[in-house]
Amino acid sequence: MAGHDPRAFRRGKGESGKSDGGGPLPGMPEIPGMPEIPGMPGGQKKPQGPAPSKSKGPKRKPKNESLDIAVRERVKAYPGTMTYLDLIRKNKRASAMLVACMILLTVVVCAIIGGTVFFYVEDVGGGAVDPIVIGVAGGALLGLALSGGSAVWAWNSGANAILHMMHARPLAKEMDPELFNVVEEMAIAGGIPMPKIYVIGDSAMNAFATGKDPEHGVVAITSGLRQKLTRDELQGVMAHELAHIRHYDIRFSLLMAAMVGIIAVVTDSFLRIAWYGGHKTRRHHGKDDGGFAMVLLVVSLILAIVAPLIAKIIQMSYSRKREYLADAGAVELSRNPEGLADALRRLAGDDDPLVDTANRGTAHMYIVNPLSKMRKNPHEVAGLFSSHPALADRIAKLEALLR
C-alpha cells in the first residue's frame, strides 16, 4: 500500500525493556474522548519534535544462520507436490482423532474412579446390582455432565475471561487503519465476518485468536508485534489467526482446556478420598474380594496420577497440530507463504519473547510460545509437553510450498 506507514515510529523503553507507552502514530487523527492505551499508539498526546520520516521500502528480512540451516534440512523431507490443501486435510484428521481421544480419556477416568469409589460403599443397590456396575455407569455419566458444563461455560464466557486476563483493550479503526485493512482483507478471503481487534500493551511480539465461532471471533495483537513487522509479515500473522477462527480452533481450544481441567479436578478429588478414606473396606464382601479390591484401588491410584499427564500431552499435541493447520490456512488466505515464514523468522529472533500477562493455561493460544526461551534454539524438536511445533519445522513446511 502506498502512503504513510503507521509502523514508522519510535517507542520509549523503560528499565525492564518493555515499551513505556510512547506517543501516537504520526499522521493519526485525534479522537475526542479516546483514552490512552498503555503500550499502544493512538492517545491524545501530540508528538514532540518533527515527525519521523516515511518508511522507504520494506524492512530487511531477519537473519538467523542456525535456523536457516535447520529449515533447509527439513524442507528436503517434504514432497515437491505438496499444497496447503494437503496440509489442511492431514491436520484435520489428526485433530479429530485427538479430540476423540480426550473425550474417551475423560469417560474412562471417571468410570474407573466411580467403580472404585462405589466398591467401597456399603450395601449399594441392595444386592440386586453390583456396586461396581453402578459406579462405572455413574462415573461415566458424571464425566460427561462435568465436561458438558465446562464446555457451556467456555462457550459463553471463555473468550471474555481470556481477554480480561490478558489485559487486552479493544482497538478502534481510526487508531490503526492499516491493521484493520489487513484483517479485513484476510476475513474477506476466508469468507468470515470481520473479527474484533484487541491490543495488548506489551513489547513482546505475539498474537492470538479467541471466540466461540467466526461470528464472535477476536484477534489480539501485542503492540510490539505491530511495530516490528512489515505489511506482508503482518498479513501472514493475521492470516494465521483468522485461519484459527475459520477452522473453529478457537472453540476447540476452549473445549480442550475445559476437559483437561475436569480430569485434573476429578483425579485430585479421588486421590484425596483415597488418602483420607482408603483404609475403609467393604465388610459384606467375601474373603476373596480383598485381593480384587487392592488391585482395583492400585489401578485407580495409578490412573489418577497418570491421567492428567496424558491429558496434557494430548492437549499439547492437539495444539501443535492446529498450529500447522493454521499455517496452511494462512497460505490459503494470503497466497504468500513467504510472508508468514519471514514473520516467524523475525519472531524467532525477538529479543523480548515473553508476554507478561500470559500463563501456562493460555500459552497454547499464541502464534509462538510466550513463556519459553525456545526461540534461542528454534531448530530443536518440540517435546511432548510443548504447546507449539519447533519454528524450524513450521518455516520448513511453508518454504516447501514455494518450490
Give the tens place of pLDDT for each residue, 224-249: 999 999 999 999 999 999 999 988 88
pLDDT tens string 171-195: 999 999 999 999 999 999 999 999 9
What is the set of domains in the chain, with CATH numbers? 87-155+251-311 (no CATH), 162-249+318-400 (3.30.2010.10)
Identify which has the larger pLDDT, 178 or 116. Answer: 178
For the chain, give the percent of residues with pLDDT over 90: 21
Confidence of residue 121 (pLDDT cuts 50, 70, 90): low
Identify which has the larger pLDDT, 111 or 58. Answer: 111
Calculate mean pLDDT across residues 378-390: 66
Determine the pLDDT at residue 3: 44
Active-site positions? 241
Q: With contact defined as beta carbons under 8 Å apart, do 27 and 4 qualify?
A: yes
Indicate the pTM of the whole model.
0.68
pLDDT tens string 371-382: 765 445 544 555
pLDDT tens string 303-345: 888 888 888 887 787 788 788 888 988 988 998 999 999 999 9
Q: CA 282 from chain center: how many Å?
A: 46
